[in-house]
Amino acid sequence: MKSLPYFCRGEVIRGFGRGSKELGIPTANFPDSVVDNLPADISTGIYYGWACVGNGDVHKMVMSIGWNPYYKNTKKSMETHVIHTFKEDFYGDTLSVVMVGYIRPERSFDSLEALIAAINNDIEEAKTKLELPEHRKLRDDNFFTGTPNGSSALPPTTTSVSQTIMNGH
């Protein structure tokens, strides 16, 4: 996938509320503007990378892109589970992510338990892969820490930053 690493950011919006309640694995959902901006060669499936909420710390993440075949969603979603325990929800905040690698395609499962087990495997794989030096260095990218001239101002929250701009990283 030539578009990886792929940098984007956007506002955290509400989904169906299933992640926390049914799976015990909350996922911060991006708006359509971010989903629709994905390059054509970023296929649906499960990715790992780095994420930060607002100006906060950078954490490991796993992301699911697609239609959640287990739930048969009709709308394509892009949802990030940040591998960190937050004190409270962060709806409306800006989530910045860099997708670093691909894990697997989305699939359906015979039970909720099987879906949860698969996601927990993805989390373990992400934790290990992100320790590789070539992946770890992306955590310290200017994208998360501010612009090269030292300003830490974030771009507007409702639109994603286009890959054309972010490719400079």
Residues binding Mg ion (CB under 5 A): 15, 19, 27, 29, 79
- Return the residue of 28, 35, 46, 53 that touches ligand RBF, per CB under 6 A: 46
Q: Comparing C-alpha atoms, which of 39, 38, 7, 47 is closest to residue 139?
A: 7
- Return the residue of 36, 91, 112, 147 that touches ligand ADP, per CB under 6 A: 91
- 87 to 26, 73, 90: CA distances (angstroms): 13, 29, 9
Active site residue 124: no
98 binds, among ligand ADP, Mg ion, ligand RBF, none (CB under 5 to 8 A by kind): none
Q: How far is the CB of 12 from ligand RBF (least distance, A)?
A: 13
Backbone angles phi, psi at 144, to 5 degrees: -90, -35
Total residues interacting with ligand ADP, rule: CB under 6 A: 20
Residues 47-76 within binding reach of ligand RBF (CB under 6 A): 62, 64, 68-71
Q: Comparing C-alpha atoms, which of 61, 39, 52 is closest to residue 10?
A: 52
Tokens (6 digits) for 37: 């901006």
Tokens (6 digits) for 90: 């962060």
Please pick, among 11, 22, 79, 131, the residue that the annotation labels catalytic.
Answer: 79
Residue 81 contacts residue 27 (beta carbons within 8 Å): yes
Residues 71-90 within binding reach of ligand RBF (CB under 6 A): 71, 79, 81
